[in-house]
Amino acid sequence: MQSTCGAMEGDGIGDLTVLYESERLAEASAVPAAINRAAYFYTNLDMLLEPVRQGSPRAARNFCPNSS
């Protein structure tokens, strides 16, 4: 199961609570499961796609830190 390192119980934190509850349900089931809590997903970079398409050097460095 994919989750995130920020998954936790709480109010007003959106998907983090849903992921936390999903993890608890997976752990409570009789089915063996692995929970992968990634720190970062590429979907977090969606906001940079348009600037990269437009040739922004700053946005490109976020994708390729070693680029000039």
* pLDDT tens per residue, range 50-61: 877 887 776 666
pLDDT at residue 65 above 60? no
Is pTM beyond 0.85? Reply is: no
Confidence class of residue 62 from pLDDT cuts 50, 70 and 90? low
Closest Cα to residue 62, out of 49, 54, 4, 37?
A: 49
pLDDT tens digit string along 8-51? 998 988 888 999 999 999 999 989 989 998 876 666 667 777 87
Quote the Cα angle for 57-5-64, to 5°.
15
Q: What is the chain's alpha carbon radius of gyration, rounded to the nearest angstrom?
A: 17
The type of residue at 3 is S
